[in-house]
Amino acid sequence: MAYDYAKYLRAGKIPHIWCPGCGYGIIMKSIIRAVDGLGMNKDDLVFTSGIGCASRLPGYIDANTLHTTHGRSLGFATGVKMAKPELNVIALGGDGDMTAIGGNHFIHACRRNIDITCLVFNNYIYGMTGGQYSPTTPKAARATTSPYGNSDNQFDIAQLAIGAGASFVARSTTYHAVPMEKLIKQAIEHKGFSVVEIIAGCPTGYGRKNKLASPAGMIEWQKANSVNKVQWDKMTAEEQAGKFPIGVLHQEEKPEFIEAYDANVGLS
Amino acid sequence: MAKAEKIEIYVNLCKGCEICVELCPVDALEMKDFKAAVKDLDKCIACMQCELRCPDFAIEVYKQ
Ligand SMILES: Cc1ncc(C[n+]2csc(CCOP(=O)(O)OP(=O)(O)O)c2C)c(N)n1
Ligand code: SF4
Ligand code: SF4
Ligand code: SF4
Ligand SMILES: [Mg+2]
């Protein structure tokens, strides 16, 4: 029997709006398998998102969903989690949504260590608005706003999350559909703020301008340039150049925000 | 080696991105009229990679 994705999808919403070969459909399937694998009840599950192609995802999922304003996925997620801590809250958004306009919300949610799962879909570009460079666009890469190549340095989302205090940080790619599913499960199960950065291809906004127009080629690129964390730690700086580690990059136990808050105000 | 009994392709959902065709390790799929199609079911090793990586719920592999 084929995998029953339909039970977590809103009837009549597929086909989705994403372009042919957009990596987001692969991520959506990994997310569904993760929550299904954990046996999660749709009524106890909340998805929030900001604005962008990535942020369209909650519209397809048959759970409690909030498609909010640009960069504010985590603001709404925090409100939901504070009001109803028993719910599982997954806040998602693109690289632009989470690290440009929503960058402040992102670092402070990490610092706060609130028990929310944050999924950042990193396609290195503002996909929805036509391919402007984002904080994760590689240096020298082309975007509609950098026709001569990007002059800016790139944010490393996972490192940013670790530095800001997130207690679980992982990275995956759309090549690694099954490992991605497992990391999302681990992130959901982790108590505290967990971040999974997911590298995805945007053939339309990024690929076409950067000689990576084929969706399969973008997935092959992810395979060729990602290195498992265990192996990564044994590599020299020269060997690591141009590549990125995947897997669980950071995990620690530390006080969770709502528990600390409740203790402070005498609720527990 | 595992085998597939059937590969179902929903042409109404397929957006013709070619991910499944290009990433199949044994060249069991092909493009036909801008949609994915089965080229040789006997070659398929039921690795499930096409189904896992199709962004559009358009291909399903039924193992033998
Ligand atoms: C306040 C505000 N500013 C700007 C925009 C325009 N806008 C819509 S989506 C987007 C960027 C989305 O990029 P990203 O978060 O990386 O998502 P992607 O489309 O790549 O998935 C921008 C700038 C907006 N909708 N609202
Ligand atoms: S513009 Fe890019 S991110 Fe948006 S749907 Fe198309 S391929 Fe996906
Ligand atoms: S991966 Fe899916 S959408 Fe893309 S060509 Fe294959 S069946 Fe069609
Ligand atoms: S299951 Fe594997 S071998 Fe069979 S068609 Fe799909 S990718 Fe090819
Ligand atoms: Mg983006």
What residue numbers bound the domain in which A188 lies? 19-258
Chain B CA closest to residue A215 = B19
CB B23 within 8 A of CB A216: yes
Kindly state whether B53 is in contact with chain A, defined as any CB-CB distance less than 8 angstroms. yes
Q: How many domains does chain B have?
A: 1
ipTM beyond cut 0.95: yes
B42: containing domain: 4-63
- pLDDT tens digits for range A248-257: 999 999 999 9
Q: What is the pTM of this model?
A: 0.98
Q: Could you tell me which chain B residue has the CA closest to the CA of A180? A: B52
Q: Which of A132, A260, A95, A100 is nearest to A193 (CA)?
A: A260
pLDDT band at residue B47 using 50, 70 and 90 as cut-offs: very high
From the list B13, B18, B19, the residue facing A15 with the nearest CB is B13
Mean pLDDT, rounded, for B41-50: 98
- Whether residue A14 lies inside any domain: the answer is no
Whether B55 sits inside 8 A of A177 (CB atoms) is no
Q: Which of A2, A3, A22 lies nearest to residue B55, judging by beta carbons?
A: A22
Residue A264 located in a structural domain: no
Q: Which atom of ligand 4 is nearest to the CA of B7?
A: 5
Give the up-direction half-sphere exposure of residue A107: CA atoms within 13 A in the CB hemisphere: 11
Closest ligand to Cα A73: 1
Q: What are phi and psi of A17, to 5 degrees?
A: -80, -10
Using a 6 Å cutoff on CB, does residue B17 contact ligand 3? yes
CATH of the domain at A71: 3.40.50.970
Which residues of chain B have a CB within 8 Å of the CB of A203?
17
CATH number at residue B11: 3.30.70.20
**Does the pLDDT of residue A213 top 90, yes or no?**
no
Alpha helices in B1-64 (DSSP H): 19-23, 49-53
Per-residue pLDDT, A267: 86
Q: What total of structural domains would you count in chain A?
A: 1
A267 in any annotated domain? no
Backbone angles phi and psi of B38, in degrees to 5: -80, 130
pLDDT tens digits for A96-136?
999 999 999 999 999 999 999 999 999 999 999 999 999 99
| Model confidence pLDDT, tens digit, residues A25-52 | 999 999 999 999 999 999 999 999 999 9
- pLDDT category at A2 given cuts 50, 70, 90 is confident
Q: Which among A256, A121, A134, A261 is positioned nearest to A195, based on CA atoms?
A: A121
Does residue A69 contact residue A51 with C-beta atoms inside 8 Å?
yes
> Is A268 within the bounds of a domain?
no
